[in-house]
Chain A
């Protein structure tokens, strides 16, 4: 081999004496960096739309779950409202049809899994006795209120309604005895007590209104015609 060539090849590294400019790397980096797409308005809109859909879907699922769990109690409440509305606006004396008060049948055929909370067993007795006390108090107020006009038949619809509720209460209690206490049955029972209490209050209001109307239009009361409701 050429001696000069051999010598220079052996000392090739010692010939690397110059350095490139400092800006060279910046240029290289700039031209080799992957192009970063700017965040466009379209992208923002797309992400915002996606977020809205997610939020709405979440709310929908939550609502659906809540409705499913409370469907039975909501049914009872809505029926209660209807019956209350009927009592307020319909003259009791002209009411020909009994007011339908329905408590859902015990869910022996229910396909939903029944969850039993231990604490509900503990509170059942307390709840029952508390409601019973208030209901009995209201009953005694009604029983001790003298009626100066109309007849006991005038308030027959209320009586029927309360009798129906008492039947439903027995059904729920027997179901509890058979199947044990569930959240669902507890809800039914509480709703039933509330409904019963409301009906008694409505009856009290109606009795007072009837008496007031009679006092205002007829003057002094006739003690002979005075009677008491046995409800």
Chain B
């Protein structure tokens, strides 16, 4: 049980010295999780793959800066999310949504999501509109606070909150619709 961190430490050290096999091992270990983060953030495969590629290249080039080899996964995830945020800031026009704040207020609702297949949830998250999709992902799956999201994306905290509730509302509507159509 305790061997996994040791193995990863040894492999990170080898990768640090430029060992291609070690790098391949790290890629195999983390590529899927990181790709799905990118995919949910960007909404399309091409951009997700570009970001994933840049993130791994950045990670391998800066591997010597990683102090604890066992923390490679968390460190890589921060690089990936930061790349996604940088991409979002470049491609999403945020100013429009400032006007839409407080349109979606939080409401108490039954736990409708518990019976929904994860594949449907994953597909609908990817299909959310730009802006609210990134905020939903950062807040729900990456556990960013609205304050941190606001600072990262250069928007106000209230915009982050309103976009999150908009995303959540859209998600529910679309999933319910999916379930009505396909059962």
Per DSSP, chain B at the interface is helix
Comparing B54-62, B64-72, B92-100, the segment that makes contact with chain A is B54-62
**With contact pairs A5-B139, A29-B23, A29-B24 given, residues A16 and B52 touching in the complex (Cβ less than 8 Å):** no
Instruction: Select from chain B the residue with minimum beta-carbon distance to A28.
Output: B56
Contact B32 A21 (CB under 8 A): no
Q: In the assembled complex, how far is the CB of residue A27 from the closest CB belonging to chain B, in whole angstroms?
A: 6
Instruction: Select from chain A the residue with minimum beta-carbon distance to B46.
Output: A21
Q: In the assembled complex, how far is the CB of residue B19 from the closest CB belonging to chain A, in whole angstroms?
A: 11
A24-82 interface with B by 8 A CB criterion = 24-25, 27-29, 31-34
Chain B positions 13 through 45: 1 when the CB is less than 8 Å from some CB of chain A, otherwise 0: 000001010011001000111011001100001
Interface residues contributed by chain A, number (CB under 8 Å): 27
Instruction: Select from chain A the residue with minimum beta-carbon distance to B139.
Output: A5
Per DSSP, chain A at the interface is helix
Contact A20 B48 (CB under 8 A): yes
B150 contacts partner chain A, Cβ-Cβ < 8 Å? no
Q: In the assembled complex, how far is the CB of residue A36 from the closest CB belonging to chain B, in whole angstroms?
A: 11
**A9–B60 CA distance with the chains assembled, in angstroms:** 28
Contact B118 A14 (CB under 8 A): yes
Interface centre among A9, A25, A34 (most CB of B within 10 A): A25
**With contact pairs A7-B114, A11-B118, A20-B48 given, residues A29 and B20 touching in the complex (Cβ less than 8 Å):** yes
**A156–B45 CA distance with the chains assembled, in angstroms:** 113
A1-20 interface with B by 8 A CB criterion = 2-5, 7-9, 11-20
**A13–B118 CA distance with the chains assembled, in angstroms:** 10
Interface centre among A5, A7, A15, A21 (most CB of B within 10 A): A15
Q: Footprint of B on A, CB under 8 Å? A: 2-5, 7-9, 11-21, 24-25, 27-29, 31-34
